[in-house]
Amino acid sequence: MIDKTSPIPIYYQLESYIKNQIEAGFILPGENIPSEREYAENYGISRMTVRQAINSLVNEGLLYRKKGSGTFVSEKKIEQPLQGLTSFTEDMQKRGMTPTSKLIHFEVIPANSFIANELKISEYAPVYEIKRIRLADGEPMALETNYLSANLVKGLTEEKVKASIYSYVEEKLGLRITHAEQMIESVRATDDHEKLLNIEKNHPMLYIQRNTFLHDGTPLELVRSVYRGDRYKFQIKMERN
Ligand code: 16G
């Protein structure tokens, strides 16, 4: 596995070897990998070289360290396509995962000037402010805050948003959701995220703002979401024209 005569650096050979072991399922997510000492002894290489390989995999997010207990294999990231306009519920169901939501805030508030402008409604008009933790198979993935005009999306209740906002809007209200604009930025986890999403402070997160529209251009929602950076990656197909 390690070829000392190869021009490929040893740390890189070890890195590829560990990666293959993970991909092949020999070491599973949540399991710990052998210690630096074990790798060094088994392959007759220095601990510094082992550390270099492991550090690189930790930086890539494939492994994570837990103080005092070793280095573990991370959960596989969810690869989310960016080209289709889908809901969290649909995304998870398509993957065979069970979506659930933990509602932490539901209130009708007067729109401030920013929200009014985004939703193209007048300032102080009633909007729902909905904060949900989105879970996949019981694991918290994202924290989402939606703003929707209460005059447009009539009859939304706590029960309904615990299920799916998009299916209520489409199936019950008969509105046609057609397009959205989305912005993605990297941020660090705050105290709030730490508590609600069960992650460490300063953890890398993806902040997403989505403005969703109906077929006639009416803004449906403004959504601010924070997704776990260790569990998500976004994918898009591009064509050069
Ligand atoms: C997704 C959307 C969100 C939308 C929600 C509706 C992002 C990145 N994603 O999470 O805008 O409000 O789906 O989901 O913002 P639901 O129909 O399951 O309630």
pTM of this structure? 0.85
Q: How high is the pLDDT of residue 115?
A: 98
Helix axes 10-23, 47-60, angle to 10 degrees: 50
Q: How high is the pLDDT of residue 221?
A: 98
Distance between first and last Cα of the chain? 44
Q: How high is the pLDDT of residue 17?
A: 96
Please give the ipTM for the structure prediction: 0.98
CATH number of 26's domain? 1.10.10.10
CATH number of 224's domain? 3.40.1410.10
- Cβ–ligand 1 distance for 225 under 6 Å, the answer yes
Helix axes 36-43, 47-60, angle to 10 degrees: 130
Do 121 and 40 lie in one domain? The reply is: no
Q: Is residue 172 part of a domain?
A: yes
How far, in Å, is the centroid of ligand 1 from the Cα of 86?
A: 7
Q: Is residue 1 part of a domain?
A: no
Angstrom distance (rounded) from CA 217 to CA 105: 28
**How many structural domains is the chain composed of?**
2
Q: How high is the pLDDT of residue 37?
A: 95
Question: Do the Cβ atoms of 193 and 226 come closer than 8 Å?
Answer: yes
- Cβ–ligand 1 distance for 210 under 6 Å, the answer yes
Do 82 and 196 lie in one domain? The reply is: yes
Do 38 and 60 lie in one domain? The reply is: yes
How far, in Å, is the centroid of ligand 1 from the Cα of 160?
A: 13
Do 220 and 103 lie in one domain? The reply is: yes
For the chain, residues with pLDDT lower than 70 are none
Residue at which a domain ends, from 73, 105, 128: 73
Q: Domain of 67? A: 10-73
**Given the CA of residue 212, which atom of ligand 1 is nearest to it?**
11
Q: How high is the pLDDT of residue 112?
A: 98
- Cβ–ligand 1 distance for 222 under 6 Å, the answer no
